[in-house]
Amino acid sequence: MIEAKNVSKVYSVADGDFYALKDVSVSIKDKEYVSILGTSGSGKSTLMHIIGLLDRPTSGEILIDGKKIETFSDNQLSTIRGQKIGFVFQQFNLIQKLTVLENILLPTVYAKHKMQFNAKEYAMELLKRFGIEHRADFYPNKLSGGQQQRVAIARALIMKPTIVLADEPTGNLDSKTGEEILQLLETLNKELGVTICIVTHDKTVAHRTKRQIFVKDGEIVKKY
């Protein structure tokens, strides 16, 4: 589904070039449950941004369903992201002035193609699946951390993507709530066939997935 071939990401700094990624090759297959594990500054988030089409590599190739994307325009990449990739972040990134339902539906507002399903009905279906349908008209500041992350996951799923990239999804949660979120992600993978990729520094979280990709000093390594 997503493949990085010999990808490097280089930033120009005061004393020369800094390699956030160095000749990285990795693939994530359809319906996988995988994690990218590394310490802070290892390059794992840079890798997530590149395979999630939020950033472009300095060199190397990114392929989506076998198609090279280096010649795609920013608008084309935006369309692919909207159709294929959902994002979940540690900070939830919910808009406080919007209700739960409005937050979930936000990606549909910016959709560049006609929806083939009733988005509001699907949003309520997701809320029911996640056990928070009674919070549809609440604002984010009235929700617990776990409820906010469920809303963020529902928002990531509203466009029916084939892959969800979750960046430290349990980082701001207590252990009990974090466990519930991990179980939810596992269920989405098993029951809906959504490819799940968790980016984390936590070995315990990473080893819940079926495969781990270890990143250290901008490179893929065999062990963390």
Residue 70 confidence (pLDDT): 86
* pLDDT for 1: 83
Domain ranges of the chain: 2-221
What integer pLDDT is reported at residue 209 of this predicted model?
96
Identify the CA nearest to 193 among candidates 2, 3, 29: 29
Three-state secondary-structure class, residue 66: coil
pLDDT (tens digit per residue) in 17-51: 899 999 999 999 999 999 999 999 999 999 999 99
Q: Is the pLDDT of residue 117 over 70?
A: yes
pLDDT at 14: 83
Residues 197, 36 contacting (CB under 8 angstroms): yes
> Does residue 79 surpass a pLDDT of 70?
yes
Query: What average pLDDT does range 92-112 have in this prediction?
Result: 92
Q: SS3 of 12, please?
A: strand
How would CATH label the architecture of 2-221? 3-Layer(aba) Sandwich (3.40)
